[in-house]
Structure 1
Amino acid sequence: MTSSGADPKVAEQSSSGDHPIAPPLVELEIETHDKGFYDGFSREVTIPAKIIVSLIIMWAIFFPVNAMETLAVANSTIISAFSGWYVYLIAFLVISSAVLVLIPQIGSLRIGAPGEKPEFSRASWFSMLFGAGIGIGMLTFSTGEPLAHFANNPDIIRGTIEARSTEAVRPAYIYTFLHWGFGAWCTYALVGLGIGYVAHRRGLPLTIRSSLAPLFGERMSGLPGHAVDVVAVVATILGVAYTLAFGVEQFVAGLYRIGFGDWLMVAGSDGVLTASTGAIIIALVVLVGASTLSALSGVGRGIKWLSNINMALSFGLLGLFALLGSGLYGLQLMGTATWDYVVNLPVQSLTLFQDDGSEVAGALVDWQLGWTVMYWAWWIAFAPFVGMFIARISRGRTIREYVLGVALVPSLMCFIWMALVGGTAIDLELSGVAGGTIVDAPMADQLFATLALLLEPGTAAIVSGLVVVLLMTYLITSADSAILIVNTINGAGDNEGSRRYHILFWGTALAFVVGSMLILGGIEAIRITMIIGALPFSLVLAAMCASIIKAVVFDLIRQKHGVPTTAEACENWEAEAATPKDLART
């Protein structure tokens, strides 16, 4: 299988040697099987990815003690050793995104042919961006994260402010917005831009390896390209598994709240209620089973239908908190916290706590590993999935419009959710109404605990039921989309060929990864596995950032010298081109 575009001979062409730079690579061959079980798939990508994910599952199921011991060692050594890499990489991605926007010539380049109109209206595009990578996190962390930092953050650890006090609110939101703001969305934006720019402008396959073609050229057709796509698939599965784990726990907590049975939750050794093994298994069978059926039904009848439900229920829930919750307090928090976030962003993005042997320094390092480093790894692992989706829907937009839209709009939506929903929970705690019942509840139950205090019992039960439905649709949509994206990567960017059995495999694999890790060691086990799994893709991500910068800079040089920069223009260029040997294709 090859992408559409000009003849490969163009790779060596420049018009009679009169131009100092060659046209871009507009064809990248990726071999796919043409019959049988792997029809339409790259076996060099699909089989290794399946083997790696299967080994992770079997390790957790058949060697649980060894798995937990290994994860514990990894948590204290490997993750700590690479914490600085994660912190500085995300800062680099944010700075790179700003550079792409601020340089006028780069910002005006189009993700597609010059003058090409966007495929979707701006309203539809923003709506789809909202659904990409936000849903489950908003429901779990809109109360969970502000409350967690309200009870413990670096300022509290240093002893400069008191936990759960009015003074703890502002730093709580600085860190909440840090984790859900530009760091996350600039990561997604650069992955999507790296893929979309070369796919829509140069005609390369819509897959992860294509984004590195500006750096490595046709070498991405072979083993290096296969390795990149395998790493992307494994990172996607682990990143989505971590997201689903939070959603499953909250889904079970919601069912427990609305009276589906005491068996759904069990008390741990610390007395905190957590989802029972039986509840986890049943929830995964229902949710991943439904997502697999949705994936089998196709994008039109599956993801689109669920996304519309998600949007309506999400804004309905947000409106409820704005009207019946602490809406005014939330808006005040929104303004103050956004200002604090922007002012403190440079320092917060580059801060790396060091352990000097003191108790306070050790606590600060542990806090950063448990929150900031975890988030950066999560967003990196989630980036192939979200980036591929954003690349698909962003054809025809300029780089400036694209980066600003992807970085700003979802960030602001996250901030609004955190301020209104989390602000209501904090206000109930500060006023004494909650009396610790929200902040001391497990994170999966904090949204339901807030609703129970905010509304009459009957109304709270109804709204909690709607939240459970919303969780279910978000979980199904996320798993559904992840399965389809993984198949797209395995299929060298195409959606053709045999897909049904591969959809069943990846749906089952997701369920087993989430279930085995949750039962083995809870969220912590999946967190550690995900952070380690994100590490190889973080190297790919750094290369992607360098690659897209090289691609746009070289295209500006090509424009200056009258050299084509798109697949269509290269086809016309071929007829007049000569073949000097001293020009390398980029």
Structure 2
Amino acid sequence: MSSESKKGIAPPLIDLPIHTASRGFYDGFSRQVTIPAKIIVTLIILWAIFFPVQANETLTAANSTIIASFTGWYVYLVAALMASCAVLAIIPQVGRMRIGAADEGPEFGRLSWFSMLFGAGIGIGMLTYSTGEPLAHFSNNPEIITGEVGARSAEAVHSAYLYTFLHWGFAAWGTYALVGLAIGYVAYRRGLPLTVRSALAPLFGRTMSGPLGHVFDVVAVVATILGVAVTMGLGVEQFVVGLSRIGLGDWLLDADGSSSLAAIVVALTVLVGASTLSALSGVGKGIKWLSNINLGLSFLLLLLFAVVGSGLYALELLGSGLVDYLAHIVPLSLTIFNDSGPVGEDLVTWQRDWSVFYWAWWIAFAPFVGMFIARISRGRTIREYVLGVVLVPSLVCFVWMTLLGGTAIALELDGSAAGTIVNAPMADQLYATLAVLLDPGVAMVVSGLIVLLLMTYLVTSADSAILIINTINGAGETEGERRRHILFWGAALALIVGSMLVLGGIEAIRITMIIGALPFSFVVALMCISIIKAIWFDLIRKSQGVPTTAAAIESSAD
């Protein structure tokens, strides 16, 4: 009898067949995943377009009931994901394990890897929230609500950045890192398909080849579409405002300053059309080319604010913000406000509108960003992977937020802005900051640069998401006919964003995404358990001399 039989431990599963069509319209795709996902997304679009009143009433009711009921779930889940990443990186035996064969080196150099991580999940959000989030918390955050500091005061700045860092730091990147590790570990060590269901194979085994696996992949596709829809919605609003700022006409904005219907239609036609063309050209041409432009333009914008903005003040905010964040990350990550007391309802509303929204957003974005990170992280040790994916992008976010947002706050505190920045709509606050900081002609040029940067980020995010969706639908493969499906998902994304913006603005997209992310949040929880089990059992296998990688298992069988 073999030693593994005596010990009750067998080699890991290295084969997970997923049936895909070999011809016809769905050539190379799993019909059981693609068709249900398309039906669900189509129903959401039809609901928003043909039953707008009912849709609006349903979303409003959901905002105050369903979302409130799952606040604790979102908060504790994201805290558990961060803790799991930290533990996996700290344990020596685990940290030394590779996402791939034991002797396999990284596929990409460290600088290229970091550059791709930067562009993976933060572009559009960082442009919209770079000034918007610090200014929002400068005006209202839990410490202001409870009366500890005054709104828009110098004392409110530190708490504003404490909550900004909470939302854009380890919580976001810990979620991405965990999902990416769960997918990449089984894909590159065990030879399973690069798709969501494979990450659950350590828990459910070959069951993932059947209907349950199809369900998990469908949920991932729908969550991805809704997560990207929020990003697109934010970007479209800021894109339209930017076009107005550079003088392309009053028709772009309605009387209340929101994007007009005509502007939404034109913007989505241009942006989704460009992203669809980019997706059709493939990763090597479209996405890679646009990613390089994104990095260059982002660096120029950051350099501009470092030179003419409040660079020293931003450096001070970065230092104090990091200290506060690291000192308070555990209690803040576990805090759930209740509606008791005189300001309880205000605290609950704040947490629902900010923290819960972010946790749902990161979870909805996780299949997209996680699969991308898994794809570029082959050959890295688990410790290097976790530290690189969590720490480096978080620090980039912090620098970005303190430099751009800190400049806006400094202009408000010294009276230069006189309320023109903080009182502007969030989509306009970055442009308003430039208008105060620079001469009109220079401000218009830089605003044009931001519009261009927004366009490239929007196109990159949309076409990357479409290609990832097709990868999930294709059971981890990129072969087969893709063009017609790229066109479908591009049109679906445009219709979801457009219908929701018309229905109730970004708030409608936000609520839809939080609800849509809920099913996938349970999948993420299972992925967390699955990757811990996979690593733990592999450590046992190593101690007993049982092979843990596909290559080692196949070699031992020869």
1:30-41 → structure 2 map (5 Å cutoff) = 30-41=18-29
Paired letter, 1:193: L
Corresponding residue number in structure 1 for 2:48: 60
Partner of 1:366: 349
Whether 1:570 aligns to 2:558 is: no
1:195 maps to 2:178:
no
Distance 2:439 2:347 in 1: 40
Question: Aligned residue for 2:336?
Answer: 352
2:240 is aligned to: 252
Q: How does 1:422-571 map to 2 (within 5 A)?
A: 422-571=405-554
- Report the CA distance between 1:138 and its aligned residue: 1.0
SS of corresponding position for 1:267: coil
Letter aligned with residue 323 of structure 2: W
For this pair of structures, how many residues does the alignment match? 558
TM-score by length of 2: 0.99
| Preserved CA contact (<8 Å) 1:206 1:493 | yes
In the TM superposition, residue 287 of structure 1 has moved relative to its aligned partner by 0.1
1:154-202 Cα shifts (integer Å, max 9, x gaps): 1111112110000000000000000000000000000000000000110
Q: Give RMSD over aligned pairs.
A: 0.9
Residue correspondence of structure 1 range 135-534 to structure 2 within 5 A: 135-268=123-256, 273-356=257-340, 358-534=341-517
Distance 1:300 1:373 in 2: 36
Distance in 2 (alpha carbons) for counterparts of 1:19 and 1:376: 41
Equivalence for 1:128: 116
Task: Describe the SS at the equivalent of 2:283.
Answer: coil
Match of 1:84 in 2: 72
The separation in 1 between residues aligned to 2:411 and 2:544, in whole angstroms, is: 64
Give, as a single letter, the amino acid of the residue that structure 2 aligns with 1:406. Answer: V
For residue 274 of structure 1, give the secondary structure of its aligned residue in structure 2. Answer: coil
Q: What residue identity is the alignment partner of 1:326?
A: S
Matched residue SS, 1:115: coil
Instruction: Write out per-residue CA displacement over residues 376-413 of structure 1, whole angstroms, 9 at most, x where no aligned residue.
Output: 00000000000000000000000000000000000000
Q: Specify the code of the residue in structure 2 equivalent to 1:496.
A: E
Task: Please say if residues 244 and 250 of structure 2, whose CA atoms lie closer than 8 Å, have aligned partners that are also in contact.
Answer: yes
Secondary structure at 1:29 match in 2:
coil
After TM superposition, the structure 1 = structure 2 runs for residues 46-125 of structure 1, keeping only pairs within 5 Å, are 46-125=34-113
Query: SS state of the match for residue 517, structure 2?
Result: helix
**Deviations for 1:37-58, whole angstroms, at most 9, x for unmatched residues?**
0000000000000000000000
The letter for the 2-side match of 1:181 is G
Are the aligned partners of 1:14 and 1:23 in contact in 2 as well (CA < 8 Å)?
A: no
Q: Deviations over 1:267-288 (max 9, x none)?
A: 23xxxx1111110110000000
Q: Per the alignment, in what secondary structure is the counterpart of residue 36 of structure 1? A: coil
Query: Matched residues in 2 for 1:281 and 1:16: separation?
Result: 62
Segments of structure 2 that go 5 or more residues without pairing to the other structure are: none
TM-score, scaled to structure 1: 0.94
Q: For residue 540 of structure 1, report the CA deviation from its aligned partner.
A: 0.2
Deviates more, 1:228-237 or 1:14-23: 14-23
Shift of 1:19: 4.4
Any conservation in 1 of the 2:4–2:546 contact (CA below 8 Å)? no
Aligned with 2:44: secondary structure?
helix
- Shift of residue 359, structure 1, vs aligned partner: 4.1
CA distance in 2, matches of 1:315, 1:264: 29
Cα deviation 1:455-507 (Å, max 9, x = unaligned): 11111111110110000000000000000000000000000011000000000
In the TM superposition, residue 572 of structure 1 has moved relative to its aligned partner by 2.2
4+ residue segments displaced more than 2 Å: 13-20, 572-575
How far has the Cα of 1:368 moved from its partner? 0.2
**Within 2, Cα distance between the matches of 1:17 and 1:95?**
34
The AA in structure 2 aligned to 1:417 is: W
Structure 1 residue 142 displacement after superposition: 0.5
1:20 Cα deviation after fit: 3.2
Q: What CA deviation, in whole Å up to 9, does each residue of 1:52-92 have, x standing for no partner? A: 00000000000000000000110010000000000000000
Q: 1:191 to 1:16 in 2, by over 3 A?
A: closer
Q: Percent identity?
A: 72
Aligned partners of 2:45, 2:420: CA distance in 1, in Å? 36
Structure 1: 5+ residue stretches without partners: 1-12, 576-586
**CA distance in 2: counterparts of 1:330 and 1:375, whole angstroms:** 24
Q: Deviations over 1:92-112 (max 9, x none)?
A: 001101100110000100000
Whether the 8 Å CA contact 1:517–1:523 is kept in 2: the answer is yes
State the AA in 2 paired with 1:395.
R
SS in 2 for 1:301: helix
- Distance in 1 between the 2:121 and 2:6 partners? 47
Q: What SS does structure 2 have at the residue aligned with 1:37?
A: coil
Q: Distance in 2 between matches of 1:193 and 1:267?
A: 48
Q: 8 Å contact 2:4–2:544 — kept in the other structure?
A: no
Deviation at residue 510 of structure 1 after TM alignment? 0.3
- 2: CA distance, partners of 1:61 / 1:20: 56
Task: Measure, in 2, the Cα distance between the counterparts of 1:158 and 1:324.
Answer: 36
Q: Is the 8 A contact 1:14 1:21 kept in 2?
A: no
How far residue 573 of structure 1 moved from its aligned partner, in angstroms, is: 2.4
Superposition deviation, residue 14 in structure 1: 5.8
1:302-326 Cα offsets, whole Å, 9 max, x none, are 0000000000000110010011000
